[in-house]
A and B are shown apart, each in its own frame.
Chain A
Amino acid sequence: MIVYRLLLALALPPAFRREWGSAMTAEARAQLTEARGKGITRLLLRAGALAVDALRTGAREWSDEFTMTSEGTGMRGWVQDLKVGMRRLARAPGFTAVAATTLALAIGVNALIFALVDSVLLRSLPYANADRVVALWTTENWSREMVALAGDELRSVESVAGHGGANLWLSEAGAPTMLFVSQVTPNLHEVLGVRPVQGRGFTTEDGLPGAEAVTLLSHRIWTERFGGDPEVIGRSIALGGEGEPRRTVVGVMPTDYLPLGGASVAAWIPVVTDPAAESYDGSYFMGAVGLAAPGSDLAAVRAEVREWADRMQERNPGWFDSERVARADALMLGDSLVADRRTPLLIALAGVALVLLVACANLANLVLARTGSRERELSVRTALGSGRGRTIRLVLAENALLGLLGGALGLILALGLRGAVIRWVPALFPPEGAEVSARVVAFTLALSMAAATLAALVPALRASRGSPAPGLSGARGTLSDRGGARLQGSLVAAQLALATVLVITAGLLGRSLAELAAVDPGFRAENGLAFTVTAPADVYPDDESVVRFFQEVRRALIDVPGVEHTGFVSRLPMASGMSRITAYPEGVEIPEGGKVPEVDHRLVTPGYFAAIGATMREGRPPTDADDIESEVVVGVVNRAAAERFWPDGSAVGRHFMGRRQAESGSGGLSPWLRVVGVVEDIREGGPDRPVGPALYILHRDWPWRTMSAVIRSRAGVDPEGLEAAVWSVNPAVPVMGMRTLAHVAAQGRQRVRVMAILATALGGVALLIGSLGVYGVVSYAVGRRRAEFGVRVALGADRRTLERSELLRAGRLVVFGVLLGVPGAWAVGRGLESVFFGVTPMAPSVLLPVVSALTVVGLLAAWVPVRRATRVDPVEALRAD
């Protein structure tokens, strides 16, 4: 018999067992007694039959619980539940509003991040060959010749194409505009598998010396500048580049084609490669992509690229050093395009997931409170045979609707936020913006409904338990047991913990930002402007003309009123990316097979150091008067270089040796450059990068076409005046990127800034939702006890003492929740350690203020309802029950 009872306990749903269990046991006992009288075989058979009967009944009753019994079956039942749910939500506007708002806030930020993730990470590349295109040696700047060589020599790729960018003037069909043009090897579009919608693509002939200058237009520029005119094919337009003032349009690219180089690419021109040339001077900074040959996979391509890089080093040891070769790699094109955006987005995704959890906890609490107050109604329903499953379904349906509502509101919020975010934190967005596509909408709504339903699951299960007697007799609006109150408390503590994690992370990021800003950049960032100028190749075809051009522009700039100092530099400080050359310092032994020292190099014109506000430690900056006749050029090193190469004695007067001489190993090393000054370290990389040795060479001796002007003024200067000065030398010269030096100095902080903003925003939202949660739960808890307060006050208790003791109770919960979040914040901090700067994950200077602030906020949220409840008029409170 005990066995039978055990079986019943295991097999039957509790409700059924409570109701019928004893009758069944009695019946079973009777049957067994009967069978025993007929012999042992009958007894065993009967026992077996009883066991089977118990199990079958169990199965049947369980399935009954969760399907429809009395009011409608299957689909019809669901629809009815939804209708009932909608009516109920409408009748409780307070609950619906708070719940929907909480959900909307969390879903809003989630939707925004989904849109980003969708646009950046999930969108498949719109190229026919997308799954076969590999980005090759992405850390290298490829020259035309390298591309050609790779195309010939690599077996695992069918063809290799190069792409780069430049800004060219379009002076046609409207006012002269600067266009961003992609300079590509003629086979690029073949490699990608994209075909023009009008005209033709580039052919190999277009890339040969002496070919007619041609161009492909993007769809956007075709519609915007040329009115979508099909007659544009074959037209010659004034678009510069590579010494060609005019080009013939041969085709238009499709409208959904996303160019390598970004959506702002307006046109393509073919790069002319002389098959006979052999230079590797990287004068054509390009990236290279290859089309994997049939049967080759990424691993094969990667292995071959690495091997090829080694071969290139053997052929050209002066140009390819071991460190560069070590970075040779191959990536799928899709991965290479999103590589540096993936991590921040994934971190953002984690952040919004936390916020959603906080909102779910809130929702669960709200549902608990609501079903708690409906427990009577639900118990009656269960007693009338509604069935547990039905009750659960009702609550779930209601909350699914709530999820739908919250999700829709959240999407609207996200759309609104998107505009604001694009303006304030553009770095996080791809050039195309974050599109809220159908996929994002569907996913968001599904997530919202799932979250709401899940949040309501536990409360629903509890509410449908149906012990009718307690529910029917209890006071209105109570959760009939301690377990409910404990659950609410745990949820609130969890919310606070999550919010704490986010806020602490935000604090740490904010601190990092402050520390980064405090780093001395090595130049003076106030009262300065910078912009970039390119000497067009068609007007200034050779080195001499380029030098003269910049000298003339500099003279024109000096004449602009307000300009105190001005000079040019090849790359502004605090920039990402390096310009490195190998250097052979005089007197420094390079061991056999050892690494040749590398230095950061910059080209400068006279006036640069004064303009940027750098400090000379020794010697002087170079001038145009220096050694015009001599073969040896002049230059300036920074302190790091001086200390590294010539630690004892001054660096001034020392030399760097020429490459060629050093290679040939001939005894006589002939000097290439003489150091005339040592400058205090300027942060050429970001503020968190260590300063390495740097060499500043006169522009005259190494004339680059694109230089950045730095202007220092005492009292401010009009940027238009500066532009006019440049155009007075040549009106067709593009002037780009006009910004203040303060902006330049801030550049290194971009990434941290973005993350700090994100963390702060999310932390704020989480804290808001969490505070609402505290408020709601405390409000509910003290609301239940209004009668008790009323009695106590009537019996002479002091209101203030009451208030204080209640606040202490709530306070314990708040403190517990916040402290619970600290280890979580530590874990997150460890993960983000590479982003932090100048601060450790558990820095007390951040931790203490944040924890205190959060506790205060939580206590405030609890204090409001406590105060209201203890102000209760005893008569009112007693009567309300």
Chain B
Amino acid sequence: MADDVLPPAEFRVLLALLDGPKHGHGIRIDVRERTGGRVDMGPGTLYGAIKRLARRGWIAEVPAPEGEEGDERRRYYEMTEPGREAAGHEAARMDELLGIARAKRLRPVGGG
């Protein structure tokens, strides 16, 4: 597979969905918490990424899970198999890059 880059926003959405289906707002909260508040996706970025992931078939819309049906307006998404695979590829790619950086003694700057 070529060295295709997965846009960061999309990757973050995929990561957020790794531990179960979420709605848009939930994805945003997850991303924000896991980056310690540093990354706070705006609505456009968020839903644009969701749209593109959906089009590629890496996430799919699902009905609201048990216990949260009250929120009819919210659309829930879960990661698909191809999506999981894509996320895995991206992680591997980053890992490889990180390995090269460490081997050359590049110290990461800023927050992790």
Q: Please tell me if the beta carbons of A20 and B51 are within 8 angstroms of each other in the complex.
A: yes
The answer to whether B43 touches A19 (Cβ under 8 A) is: no
Interface residues of A in 26-75 (CB under 8 A from B): 26-28, 30-31, 49-50, 52-54, 56-58, 60-61, 69-70
Q: Given contacts A16-B51, A69-B55, A70-B55, is CB(A27)–CB(B45) below 8 Å?
A: no
Cβ of A23 under 8 Å from chain B? yes
Inter-subunit contact B55/A53 (CB<8 Å) = no
Identity of the chain B residue whose Cβ is nearest the Cβ of A25 in the assembled complex: B43
CB neighbours of B51 from chain A (8 A): 16, 19-20
Say yes or no: is B47 at the interface (Cβ < 8 Å to chain A).
yes
Chain A contacts of B28 at CB under 8 A? 27
Cβ contact within 8 Å between B43 and A27: yes
Chain B residues 36 to 54 lying within 8 A of chain A, measured CB to CB, are 40, 42-48, 50-51
* Residue from B25, B42, B55, B73 in contact with A385 in the complex, judged by beta carbons closer than 8 Å: B55
A871 CB to closest chain B CB (Å) equals 49
- Looking at the assembled complex, report how far the CB atom of B33 sits from the nearest CB atom of chain A, in whole angstroms: 13
* Bound CA–CA A391/B71 (angstroms): 36
Q: How far is the CB of B39 from chain A (nearest CB, A)?
A: 12
Main secondary structure, interface of B, reads helix
Q: Which residue of A lies closest to B73 (CB)?
A: A26
> What is the minimal beta-carbon distance from B92 to any residue of chain A, in angstroms?
24
Residues of B within 8 A of A53 (CB): 42-45
User: Given contacts A22-B73, A70-B55, is CB(A27)–CB(B46) below 8 Å?
Assistant: yes
Across the interface, which residues of A come within 8 angstroms of B45, CB to CB?
A: 53, 56-57
Kindly state whether residue A24 has any CB partner on chain B within 8 Å.
yes
Contact B25 A30 (CB under 8 A): yes
Partner of B42, one of A49, A61, A69, A70: A49
In-complex Cβ contact of A60 among B24, B46, B48, B56 (8 A): B48
A54, A70, A385: the one contacting B44 at CB < 8 Å is A54
Closest B residue to A386 using CB positions: B55
Closest to A20 in B: B47
Kindly identify, within residues 9 to 43 of chain B, every residue whose CB is under 8 Å from any CB belonging to chain A.
24-25, 28, 40, 42-43
Residues in B with CB closer than 8 Å to A31 are 40, 42-43
Interface contact B24-A27, CB-CB below 8 Å: yes
**Smallest Cβ distance from B32 to chain A, in angstroms?**
10
Contacts of B73 in A (CB 8 A): 22-23, 26
As a 0/1 sequence over residues 587 to 606 of chain A, the CB contacts with chain B under 8 angstroms (1 = contact) are 00000000000000000000
B43 touches A24 (CB 8 A): yes
- Asked if B47 and A24 make an inter-chain contact with CB atoms under 8 angstroms apart, the answer reads yes
Q: Contact: B47 with A23, CB < 8 Å?
A: yes
B93 at the interface (CB under 8 A from A): no
B43:A28 contact, CB within 8 angstroms: yes
CB-based contact B25/A27 at 8 Å: yes
Chain A's interface size range is 20 to 34
B24-A23 in contact (CB<8A): yes
Q: Is B102 an interface residue (CB 8 A)?
A: no
Contact A57 B55 (CB under 8 A): no
- Measured in the bound complex, the distance between the Cα atoms of B50 and A58 in whole Å is 15
* Nearest CB of chain B from residue A260's CB, rounded to whole Å: 66
Q: Bound state CA distance, A25 and B47, in angstroms? A: 11
Within 80-111 of B, Cβ neighbours of A (below 8 Å) are at none
> Which A residues lie within 8 Å of B48 (CB)?
20, 57, 60-61
Q: Per-residue CB proximity of B48-75 to A under 8 Å, as 1/0?
A: 1011000110000000000000000111
Q: List B contacts of A28 (CB < 8 A).
A: 42-43
Q: A31–B44 Cα gap in the complex (Å)?
A: 12
Shortest beta-carbon distance, A398 to chain B, in Å? Answer: 24
> Shortest distance in angstroms between A382's beta carbon and chain B's nearest beta carbon?
12
Bound CA–CA A31/B40 (angstroms): 10
Q: How far is the CB of B109 from chain A (nearest CB, A)?
A: 24
A35 to B24, CA, bound (A): 18
CB neighbours (8 Å) of A23 from chain B are: 24, 43, 47, 73-75
A contact residues around B47 at 8 Å (CB) = 20, 23-24, 27, 57
CB distance from B6 to the nearest CB of A (A): 15
- Report how far A23 CA is from B45 CA in the complex, Å: 12
B25 to chain A, nearest CB (A): 6
Q: In the complex, which residues of chain B have a beta carbon less than 8 angstroms from the beta carbon of A385?
A: 55
User: Measured between alpha carbons, how far is A30 from B73 in the docked complex, in Å?
Assistant: 14
Measured in the bound complex, the distance between the Cα atoms of B24 and A54 in whole Å is: 16
**CB-CB nearest in chain A for B41:** A53
Q: Which residues of B contact A20 (CB under 8 A)?
A: 47-48, 50-51
Provide the bound-state CA to CA distance between A385 and B56, in Å: 10
Residues in chain A near residue B24, CB distance under 8 A: 23, 27
Task: Give the CA-CA distance A565 to B42 in the complex, in Å.
Answer: 104
In the bound complex, what is the Cα–Cα distance between A374 and B50 (angstroms)? Answer: 30
A574 to B: closest C-beta gap in Å: 77
How far, in whole Å, are A54 and B46 apart by their CA atoms in the complex? 11
A323 to B42, CA, bound (A): 83
A24 lies within 8 A of B44 (CB): yes
Distance of A353 from chain B, by nearest CB (Å): 44
Determine the distance from Cα of A26 to Cα of B56 in the docked complex, in whole angstroms.
Answer: 25
Question: Among B24, B40, B43, B46, which residue has the most Cβ atoms of chain A within 10 A?
Answer: B43
**Complex Cα gap A385–B24 (Å):** 20
Q: Nearest CB to that of B55 among chain A residues?
A: A385
Highest count of chain B CB atoms <10 Å: which of A24, A49, A60, A61:
A24
Please determine whether B55 and A58 come into contact, CB atoms closer than 8 angstroms: no
Please, which residues of chain A bring their CB within 8 A of the CB of B74?
23
Give the shortest distance, in Å, between A829 (CB) and chain B (any CB): 58
Residue from A20, A22, A49, A58 whose CB has the most chain B CB atoms within 10 Å: A20
Nearest A residue to B27, CB-CB: A27
Residues in A with CB closer than 8 Å to B75 are 23
Q: Are A56 and B44 in contact (CB under 8 A)?
A: yes
User: Using Cβ atoms and an 8 Å threshold, which residues of chain B touch A19?
Assistant: 51
Q: With the chains together, A60 CA to B75 CA distance in Å?
A: 22
- Give the residues in chain B near A57, CB-CB below 8 Å: 42-45, 47-48
Roughly how many angstroms separate A141 CA and B94 CA in the complex, as a whole number?
A: 89
- Contact partners of B46 in chain A: CB under 8 A: 24, 27
Report the separation of the CA atoms of residues A50 and B73 in the bound assembly, to the nearest whole angstrom: 21
CB distance from A97 to the nearest CB of B (A): 38
> Which residues in B have their C-beta under 8 angstroms from that of A61?
48
With A and B bound together, what is the CA distance between A24 and B43 in angstroms?
5
B residues within 8 Å of A by Cβ? 24-25, 28, 40, 42-48, 50-51, 55-56, 73-75
Q: Report 19 cross-chain contacts, Cβ distance below 8 Å, ordered by A residue.
A: A22-B73, A23-B24, A23-B43, A24-B43, A24-B44, A25-B43, A28-B43, A31-B42, A31-B43, A49-B42, A53-B44, A54-B43, A54-B44, A56-B45, A57-B45, A57-B48, A70-B55, A70-B56, A385-B55
Q: A23-B74, A26-B73 are in contact. List 11 more A-B contacts (CB 8 A).
A: A19-B51, A20-B47, A23-B73, A24-B46, A26-B25, A27-B24, A28-B43, A30-B25, A50-B42, A54-B44, A69-B55
